Structure 1
C-alpha cells in the first residue's frame, strides 16, 4: 500500500477573494491494482459552536490547543474520494456545487486537474445527503453534472430525505438541507439504486452503516486482496475532538448520541484491522490512520 500527498496551486488568475480555496490539496492511495484519490471541493467556513457548543469548555480548550484549532471558527477541508479500479471510476459524494458556500464547490475543477472529466465517472455513491456532499449533483440547468454515472445511496438515507415530513421535523436550522436534498434526489429518482448495510455495492466496495451524523449515513470498506481502507464520510468528522474525545456529542450530528456510538465502533474496526482511513473533512487530503493514544485516538498521516 502506498500513500502520497500532493498540493496543486489553483489555476486561473483573478478569482474572487471568496471563491475557491487558494490551493487544491489531494492525496493518493494505491490499493492493490486500484487507485484511490481524494480531490478537493474546497473548504467550509463554520462557527465553532456548530460542533463545540455542548462540549466541556475546559477540556475542549486543551484538545483544541494541542491540535492548533481555533475555538470560534473552523475551516474544514472537503475531500471527495475517487476510486479507480476494476473498470469503474467511482466518486463518493459530489461536493457542494455553487449554492452552498463560496469557499466550496470546486470538485469538477479538481477532477479536471488530474485528467478526469465528469463524463468519465461511472458511479456516484453517496455517504449521505447533507449539502456539502450532494448539492454538487446538478448543473446550472438542473441536469446531473455526472451525466453518465449510475447513482447509489443507502436505503435508510434515501427514505429519510425523501419523506415529505423531514423538512418539518429536522429543525429550522437544517430545513434548507431537507429541501435541497429532496430536489436533487428527485432529479435522479429513476437513475438511483438503493443498498443496505453490509451489501457489496460494487466489486471490492461494501457498505458499512454508520448512522448518527444523519439517520442513514453510510461508510464504505474498499478492499483489494489484503489491502483495505474505510471511506468514513462524516462519521469521523474532524481530526481533533472526534479522535481525542469520540464520546463527546457533536453539534454537527443529527443524532449526537448515536453518532458517538458509531465513532467508537469505527475506531475499534480501524485499529483492530489496521485499516487506512479516508475522511471527508480530515486535513491534507483526508487519508491517514487512527492510532490509539492515552486519551482516545489521534490522526496520523505517517503511513
Structure 2
C-alpha cells in the first residue's frame, strides 16, 4: 500500500530527475580511507546584506566583497549538508531548512534522491547548531522525524539554549521565530536526543569541537585526526569571514566571541592543512584554508 511518505518520495524523485542537469552536489567530494563524504545541496538562502555585513567597516568591506563579484545589498549563500558513509553508518551533519523557512531552501530530499539514499537509511544526524537552515528540516508535515531510524546528536549547551523559554525574549525580535521553531522541533526529539560536550567522540573517528559565537553552543565536527572538519557556520562565508575573520558579523549571535572562534579555527585549519566543509561556502563547501595576510583565503577542492 502506498503511504503518504511514499507518495512524497516518489514525487521528489521525479523532481530530482528533472533537476539532474543542474549541479545538485550529490557526488563524492572527499574520501578518507573507507570514509566517503558527499555534500548535498539544500538550496540557498536569500538574505539582506546587512544580516551578514552590518557593523563592519563599510568601505573596506565593500572592497572585499566586490573582489568576489558580489553585491552588498543582498546575498544568496548556498546551503551544503554533509553526508558521511563509512560502510556501517550513514551520517548527516544538519538536516537543512525543510519547507517552512525560505522557498529557495529545503531541497535536501531531492539531493538525497540523486544518490539513491532514503530517509530511513540515515543512522545518525549530528547537528552543528539550531538555526532554521540547519534544524528545521528535522520534522515532516505530520511533525514526525524525517529520518525515523536516526540517532540525533546535539551539543548540550546548544540544546539547553534553544529549549530555554527565556531565549525567545532575549534573542532579539528578528530571531524570535528562530527560537520558537527550534524549541518546537527539539521538543519532538527531547526524549531521545544524545547530548554531548566539547571533545566527545560520538562515533568512531567523529569528535565534537565547541566553536561558540555564531550560537552559544555551536559545534564543528572533526572527522579522523585532522582528516576533515565540518565547520557549520563557524566560518560563514568565503569572503569577509576569511579575509577579515576578526570582524564581527551580523549573522553571529555573539559577534565578538564568534570572531575569536573564527580566527582560531582558521589558524588551525591552515597550519595543519585540514580539509574543511563549510555550510555556506561555494563549490559544495569543500576546500582548504591558506594564509593570505592579513587573513586567509578559501581554496575550493
Q: Give TM-score scaled by structure 1 length.
A: 0.91
Contact 2:43 2:78 in 1 (8 A): yes
Aligned to 2:149: 148
1:218-237 deviation line (CA, Å, top 9, x unaligned): 001001xx660010000000
The alignment's TM-score, normalised by the length of structure 2, stands at 0.92
Larger % of helix: which? 2
Q: Counterparts in 2 of 1:212-231, with a 5 A limit?
A: 212-223=213-224, 228-231=227-230
Query: Does structure 1 residue 51 correspond to structure 2 residue 49?
Result: no
Q: Cα RMSD over matched residues?
A: 1.4
What's the counterpart of residue 25 of structure 1?
Answer: 25
Do the aligned residues in 2 keep the contact of 1:213 with 1:253 (CA within 8 Å)? Answer: yes
1:25 Cα deviation after fit: 2.9
- Could you tell me which residue of structure 1 aligns to residue 43 of structure 2? 42
The one-character-per-residue Cα deviations of 1:185-216 (angstroms, maximum 9, x if unpaired) are 00011120000001111100000000000000
Distance in 2 of aligned mates of 1:78 and 1:229: 18
Deviation at 1:269, TM superposition (A): 1.1
DSSP-derived class of the 1:168 partner? helix
- Contact 2:16/2:110 (<8 A) preserved: no
Equivalent residue number for residue 4 of structure 1 = none
* Separation in 2, partners of 1:231, 1:283: 14
8 Å contact 1:232–1:277 — kept in the other structure? yes
What SS does the corresponding residue of 2:134 show, helix, strand or coil?
Answer: helix
Gap regions ≥5 residues in structure 2: 1-14
- Superposed displacement of residue 112, structure 1: 1.0
- 1:246–1:260 contact (8 Å) kept in structure 2: yes
Segments ≥4 residues shifted beyond 6 Å: none
**How many residues in Structure 1 have an aligned counterpart in Structure 2?**
284
Cα distance in 2 for partners of 1:243, 1:220 equals 19
Shift of 1:26: 4.4
Partner residue in 2 for 1:249? 248
SS at match of 1:297: strand
Flag structure 1 segments of 5+ consecutive residues without an equivalent: 1-9, 16-21
Task: Provide the residue aligned with 2:78 in structure 1.
Answer: 77
**Rounded Cα–Cα distance in structure 2 between residues aligned with 1:279 and 1:12:** 26
